[in-house]
Chains A and B, each alone.
Chain A
């Protein structure tokens, strides 16, 4: 037994020298001499000559001039890769995807072919009827408690708005505490469903949303107020609108435009997805540069084709493009977006 222990220590010692010392050093030497770009993270420089990102790690883009990467469950944080880990049967997945479709949803057929859906969603929302009953917001909060709570906790201003409401309605809070003796000091998140039920009654056809005002000095102030239209309503209630209009023909959105990747840092999108975004991107550059949109579109189309990547030489799958590579090319060619 003792002999086994001493031999074990010898084996561990030799193994540590070999696998922690010599082995990584050899690879480090080879990597730094022959593949210095890759071995240090595939970092590329921006127009100002400073590091702008890794070609292998997705970064966020929101401007219309740029192609947008896939949604990220990691918020594009290079220190914390993450997938959504949402099961197929999880309602949150459907909800998230519907929210990303909503701003770009258009009719794919019928009399309104090519027109955006958003205005119809707003008109339907203002009528405030779902499943034959009034109170869309109340029904939404009751059916999906976690979504209502997520709205409250998503932003400190949301929570503050609910806190303000609960201070103004102590009787409702008292009723809530009576019904839920476990929660004697309800926080804003606990009251989310109750809040939305009353909000729906007090403000039919409205939803709380951020509104920008000018204060007395003329600077912008953001406040949460009941509103009748806007992007929050379009995205939050697109899914319920869809449930009531299952037969409306809608234009399909590429799957990778709305699905989160495994790492949250997928640097690529499919070429199909890039083509889907091309009109928006080309249109915005044409507007910035005051040039002919068709011509700009042709140029960008050329850039896409030039940078297309075919996995495994085309043997394994669909052509893709690297988002940072394309956007950097656009930036270098057309200058800074306005």
Chain B
């Protein structure tokens, strides 16, 4: 039960220490490239850039990646490696998918096993996964260099190449071999066809013949390592890491979970190493770790250690007081009869939507971790989690800094940190400082803008879609859970996470699909725009902030200076995150998961 999360955290913490040293070594340019690689770097090097040039280079590259992705997906029907003859996706779905993979979100409004050919899996998914993951990494590196007071923050293209080549590629190769050993397919073929052991049970086709079972295979072991290491999360198969060919055993699940945690963990320590403030980064690391442990514990406790309340019933009739303008005193009571329990042995917790081979608590642990590190892979159906347990994935995405995605999680934490330093400064009546430099009005403005983009882009569209047909017609569950489904979709989009409550009708499918989900197009466009804005604004504003802060003079530390490497500072940071998070999102949490758990189960007919 608890062995899995404890082993996972222990191994990740242990390995993040040497890896952070390696990262700093690579990014500080101490690693000298051998001949051919040096040639490639020379071709890419456009000289040292200041922060504006760095950002422009990032945006230019993003634009190129967007065009490339659009082209590849449009070419699917005519490209090779498509023996199953997959056609072109709906235009809105292509729009959504290209943005989704470019922004490291990997929200999937299609199903990989049904809608993509191996050509698209290799030429669209793979490079996007490597490159979009590297963009966050490079942004953090630029911020660190700016904090060090460097006016020129390095070259974006060389940084990108070094991250892809020296960091993601070797790690992906090693993990890919482990995955293949455990049973993941790695072939350029698309399908295996078998006649099952009891053919009649498969059903019959139009000619009355027993249907064969067609099993989709492909270059799975190439996509999944980088999917996890880059905290991308977009599955080869529709059901992502719950699919037995994408996650064959308990060991592969362990490595999968580890792979999505290791880089975000290491990057926090890299931040400290590159700034020469390792103790400060350890404090941040501990704050993040405390939040992650809390969220894992919460999910396991509510989902694995407790039964699915749909089957346990309620022994007595329940009274609910609801608002009713026509009733006396504006409220009336409705009584719902008792609900009988069903004879289900539930000592393994809620098993609806869980796979058995990973271990008892694996689904709950994964749900918490994948939303903390904004990976978005899933190994269980989040829609079917016990409602109050699903609060943890929500919180992970709302805070978006419990380690967070590579680079961007650390960047988000810096925003909370600046606000925390400001609050502390107000309390003691000193002008706030970070890294020995005074935090001025301009830096505060940039930090708060970047911080508020996220709640704005979650709450605004969620409200809009919950109030209109765009959302309500897409819901697959009644009552508060339907609302949760919409909020989850936008939380996931804005946090660049990519997991989903899969019941929400978002799939248009192929362009010639006669029966698409009715509101797929508005959801494609809505979430697509949210992913785009919530990715780049919170990267660009902090880079600017770091530059303006970094060029200030370092004031010598005095007795009155607030130290940033103590437990006190850790609690200040934790408190700031939790208070701001609660202020922003508690009302939504009450309307969604909390209302579902505390309200009638089952809800409606």
Q: Which residues of B contact A299 (CB under 8 A)?
A: none
Tell me, rounded to whole Å, the shortest Cβ–Cβ distance linking B254 to chain A.
7
Residue A154 CB within 8 A of the other chain: no
On whether the beta carbons of A143 and B360 are closer than 8 Å, the reply is no
Residue B188 CB within 8 A of the other chain: yes
| Docked complex Cα distance between A264 and B114 (Å) | 14
Q: Which residue of B has the minimal Cβ distance to A309?
A: B357
Residue B476 CB within 8 A of the other chain: yes
| Docked complex Cα distance between A63 and B131 (Å) | 50
Interface size on B, residues (CB 8 A): 138
| Cross-interface CB contact of A262 among B201, B245, B359, B380, cutoff 8 Å | B380
On whether the beta carbons of B250 and A317 are closer than 8 Å, the reply is yes
| Cross-interface CB contact of A316 among B181, B360, B600, B601, cutoff 8 Å | B360
| Docked complex Cα distance between A60 and B60 (Å) | 51
Q: Which residues of B contact A53 (CB under 8 A)?
A: 194, 196-197, 213
On whether the beta carbons of B503 and A311 are closer than 8 Å, the reply is no
Q: Which residue of B has the minimal Cβ distance to A267?
A: B244
Residue A151 CB within 8 A of the other chain: no
Q: Which residues of A contact B238 (CB under 8 A)?
A: 80-82
| Cross-interface CB contact of A38 among B57, B184, B215, cutoff 8 Å | B184
Residue A91 CB within 8 A of the other chain: yes
| Docked complex Cα distance between A8 and B603 (Å) | 53
Tell me, rounded to whole Å, the shortest Cβ–Cβ distance linking A257 to chain B.
8
Q: Which residues of A contact B183 (CB under 8 A)?
A: 38, 42, 55-56
| Docked complex Cα distance between A269 and B356 (Å) | 7
On whether the beta carbons of A252 and B345 are closer than 8 Å, the reply is yes
Binds B, one of A19-27, A183-191, A223-231: A19-27
Interface size on A, residues (CB 8 A): 116
| Docked complex Cα distance between A251 and B343 (Å) | 6
On whether the beta carbons of B61 and A4 are closer than 8 Å, the reply is yes
Q: Which residues of A contact B281 (CB under 8 A)?
A: none
Residues in chain A within 8 A of chain B (CB atoms): 1, 3-5, 7-12, 14-16, 18-20, 23-24, 26-28, 30-32, 34-35, 38-43, 46, 50-63, 66, 70, 75-91, 93-94, 97-98, 101, 105, 108, 143-147, 239, 242-243, 245-246, 250-256, 258-270, 272, 309, 311-312, 315-318, 320, 324, 327-328, 331
CB-based closest 6 A-B pairs: A316-B359, A262-B242, A85-B503, A31-B186, A317-B359, A311-B250
Residues in chain B within 8 A of chain A (CB atoms): 1, 3-4, 7, 40, 43-44, 46, 53, 56-57, 60-61, 63-65, 68, 111, 113-114, 122-123, 126-127, 129-131, 157, 160-161, 164-165, 169, 172-173, 176-177, 180-189, 191-198, 200-203, 213-217, 219, 221-222, 226, 237-239, 242-245, 248-251, 254, 308-311, 313, 315, 337-346, 348, 350-363, 378-381, 383-387, 476-481, 484, 501-503, 596, 599-605
15 A-B residue pairings within 8 Å (CB atoms): A3-B46, A5-B64, A8-B57, A26-B173, A27-B180, A35-B186, A88-B308, A98-B342, A108-B343, A144-B605, A252-B344, A262-B239, A263-B239, A317-B359, A324-B197
